[in-house]
């Protein structure tokens, strides 16, 4: 399997990124023979190169990968937190790449504060074997979608993984806090979702979305006494102050079942909001920034042919908070 995937990566390199999704039909992301597809989400590694406090982050990454053997790894931002950013990024990606596991990175608000731009970091990440990010074109770090193909039909798209750049800080002087998705990004998502739905005979494909900064709906959901909530919430979601409608677009498009973010180190909860699960990963870093939870990762496992998935948090030597979408978030009579 490892050799097959590395051959796929080499073919992508030789033929160019535009061939990546067609090549995925032969050797890319695919449900296994049991109809399952497992994703590991690492978030907020906040890695500081040559700082011993970051060693525990690498230890946990290696432990999780050994325990879970995922089909895809997604880093949801704030990977590096010191110079040299290039050395730090490569050190964090090494455990994934050396195992031949496909991976992607979505940026957080701190990644490009370490004397390397988003563009430079993105190009560096794309040079690492196993990375599935497309060529960025004019964008500093583009939004993209990865299809997961059927276990029985290499040409049939069976699920989608959206990887979005939630950007960094508010661009407006009179609006404090974090950036929001632009209208162009919302339109991009709507257009891609519509394309895949049309190709699937008008039925939205089961989809997940990954990015760094939580949507404003996270606070709305966690404050609602009727919303079903699983996991730990120790701080308010540091969401943007302006809402440009990404959640509404996902709800109307009908494909996204769950959204997975990072950013807030003391949250790892999942809450159902209007039948979309809004979830956090588990803080993965060491003691380089604030954190009050043991570090770990979130695992998500899709089941082919259904709009369901299971998810859990893996810590050192244990699994906690295992849930099933949607069953764990439906009120029982």
CB 240 within 8 A of CB 263: no
Could you write out the three-class secondary structure of 180-207? CCCHHHHHHHHHHHHHHHHHCCCCCCCE
Instruction: Give the pLDDT score at 321.
Output: 97
Architecture per CATH, 2-329: 4-Layer Sandwich (3.60)
Tokens for 107?
Answer: 């940026």
Instruction: Give the pLDDT score at 7.
Output: 42
Instruction: Give the pLDDT score at 332.
Output: 80
Which regions of the chain are under pLDDT 70?
1-27, 333
In whole angstroms, give the CA distance from residue 249 to residue 192. 11
In whole angstroms, give the CA distance from residue 55 to residue 59. 6
Instruction: Give the pLDDT score at 333.
Output: 67
305: left (phi over 0), alpha (psi -120 to 50) or beta: left
What is the Cα 269 distance to its own chain's centre?
15
Q: Name the residue among 83, 129, 75 with its Cα closest to residue 107.
A: 75
CB 56 within 8 A of CB 62: no
> Could you count the other beta carbons within 10 Å of the beta carbon of residue 252?
10
Average pLDDT of the chain is: 92
Residues in CB range of 258: below 8 A, 6 or more apart: 208, 209, 270, 276, 277, 278, 279, 300, 309, 311, 325
Instruction: Give the pLDDT score at 15.
Output: 32
CB 286 within 8 A of CB 53: yes
Instruction: Give the pLDDT score at 246.
Output: 98
Instruction: Dump pLDDT digits (tens) for 264-283.
Output: 999 999 999 999 999 999 99
Residues in CB range of 138: below 8 A, 6 or more apart: none
In whole angstroms, give the CA distance from residue 271 to residue 276. 8
> Could you count the other beta carbons within 10 Å of the beta carbon of residue 69?
12
DSSP-H helix ranges across the chain? 2-15, 20-27, 55-68, 85-97, 118-126, 183-199, 217-222, 246-253
Instruction: Give the pLDDT score at 99.
Output: 97
Instruction: Dump pLDDT digits (tens) for 94-130.
Output: 999 999 999 999 999 999 999 999 999 999 999 999 9
The vertex-76 CA angle with 216 and 223, nearest 5°, equals 25
Instruction: Give the pLDDT score at 43.
Output: 98
Instruction: Give the pLDDT score at 70.
Output: 98
């Amino acid at each position: 399997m490892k050799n097959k995937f590395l051959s796929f990566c080499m073919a992508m390199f030789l033929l160019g990124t535009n061939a990546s999704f067609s090549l995925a039909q032969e050797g890319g992301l695919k449900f296994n023979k049991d109809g399952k597809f497992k994703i590991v989400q690492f978030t907020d590694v906040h890695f500081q190169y040559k700082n011993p406090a970051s060693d525990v982050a690498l230890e946990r990454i290696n432990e999780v990968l050994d325990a879970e053997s995922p089909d895809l790894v997604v880093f949801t931002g704030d990977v590096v937190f010191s110079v040299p950013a290039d050395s730090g990024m490569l050190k964090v990606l090494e455990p994934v790449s050396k195992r031949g596991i496909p991976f992607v990175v979505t940026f957080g608000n701190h990644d490009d504060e370490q004397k390397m731009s988003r563009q430079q970091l993105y190009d560096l990440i794309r040079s690492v074997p196993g990375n599935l990010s497309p060529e960025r074109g004019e964008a500093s770090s583009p939004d993209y979608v990865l299809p997961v193909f059927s276990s029985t039909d290499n040409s049939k798209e069976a699920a989608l993984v959206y990887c979005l750049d939630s950007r960094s800080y508010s661009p407006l002087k009179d609006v404090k806090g974090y950036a929001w998705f632009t209208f162009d990004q919302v339109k991009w998502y709507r257009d891609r979702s519509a394309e895949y739905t049309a190709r699937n005979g008008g039925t939205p494909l089961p989809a997940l979305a990954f990015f760094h900064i939580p949507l404003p709906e996270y606070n709305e959901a966690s404050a609602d006494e009727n919303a079903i909530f699983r996991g730990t919430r120790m701080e308010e979601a540091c969401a943007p102050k302006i809402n440009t409608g990404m959640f509404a677009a996902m709800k109307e498009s009908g494909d996204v079942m769950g959204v997975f973010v990072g950013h807030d180190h003391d949250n790892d909860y999942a809450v159902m909001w209007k039948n979309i699960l809004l979830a956090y990963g588990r803080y993965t870093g060491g003691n380089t920034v604030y954190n009050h939870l043991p570090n770990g990762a979130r695992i998500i496992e899709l089941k082919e042919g259904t709009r369901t998935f299971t998810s859990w948090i893996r810590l050192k030597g244990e699994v906690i908070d295992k849930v099933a979408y949607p069953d764990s978030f439906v009120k029982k009579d």
